[in-house]
Amino acid sequence: MRVAFVATLVAALSRNAVAQTSQNTLRAATNLLFMLEAPGNCLEVGTDLTAAKSPSRNMAALWIRAVFHDAAPYSTTDRPPGSAGFDGSLVNEFNRPDNFGLEESIASRFPMPSGVNMSKADLIGLGGVVSVRHCGGPSITYKPGRVDVKANQTNPDGRIPQGNDKLDVVKAHFARMGLSTIDMAVLTTGSHTMGGVHGAISPNITKETFVPFDNTPGVFDNDVFKQTLAGNCALPVDCEIAQDPELKPFIQLWASNETAFFNQYAQSFEKLMALTSSPLSTAAVDYSNVIPVHKNLKQEGTRVVYNLPGVTYDTGADGKQNNNTQTAGAAKVGCPMAAVMAGLGAAGLLGLLGS
């Protein structure tokens, strides 16, 4: 009788804990969405993050970049296994060149409203999946439970792929994390579905203010694969991936079948977020109902206006350059969160996860 009572009590407490965690996560997700939609935090211009403070000023791309930079130091050969990984150590590593632009952009976003209590690592992960979803991408399974490292504790340096790395080097980084070459391709080129390369972040890649990865830098879609197959690559490694004998069939599949791309991206991104020694919750939190897709996504996310040194042009919905367009500054229209990805920049993971 007593054993049955205790078992019932434990089950009830467990259900209550799961429910509280879910409610906590949804409140945080709603708060993240507010910050991502606010004109001051999502668009390329009109932001409170001035160029002097942060060359990467689009919040969506920054959250996705942050996910990779926190998780990427993970290594299957570390002892104990997983002693480096998705653990919030990023906040202690903002001074590293790999993380240029992140401290000025997302550090001030960590404080959550009263009643929302979660680790920085969980918040970074949530910011990433909310960004993908809001800009038209898939809903990625999210499980909380990551424990932050101690104050001032950092992960090993030199474990973030660089924008000018060759494909074999990038493959080696993902292999060290225990991720496959398919994971590497979809998380690298796939994340380039949004944003572009910034000269202020990746001067070794471009001297221009901003170079988009594809024709829809404000939309999470499969256009980037069409561009890389055609040889249009802001980062050389994307073209290497597109022509790799093992990977090319997958690039062709994702270029022709957006659903296949979304499915693989969701699976690989979930694996990326699981690179931690923390015991994650067995119950996923469904945030899809509180995170809508950005209104007018295709229309706004396809048209991007640039003002680069020596040339001012407007890339319209047809993807063609119109050199006679007049602009007032480096203005950008697009998914408030998507242009974000422009903030990933090449400094981290080939600018993998940009603006």
192 catalytic per annotation: no
- Which residues on neighbouring strands pair with residue 314, listed in sequence order? 305, 322
Q: Who's near 341: CB < 8 A, 6+ residues apart?
A: 58, 60, 61, 64, 65, 131, 135, 191, 192, 193, 194, 195, 217, 353, 354, 355
How far apart are the C-alpha atoms of 264 and 182, rounded to whole Å? 9
- Return the H-helix or E-strand segment holding 289: none
Beta bridge partner(s), residue 162: none
What token pair was written down for 134?
Answer: 């809001």
Catalytic residue among 69, 134, 173, 192: 69
Angle at 64 between CA 28 and CA 114, to 5 degrees: 15
Contacts of 171 (CB under 8 A, 6+ apart): 181, 184
Give CA–CA dist 212/203, Å, rounded. Answer: 15
Query: Do residues 355 and 340 lie in contact, with contact meaning Cβ atoms separated by under 8 Å?
Result: yes
Asked whether the bond before 97 is cis by omega within 30 degrees of 0, the reply is no
- Residues classed as catalytic: 69
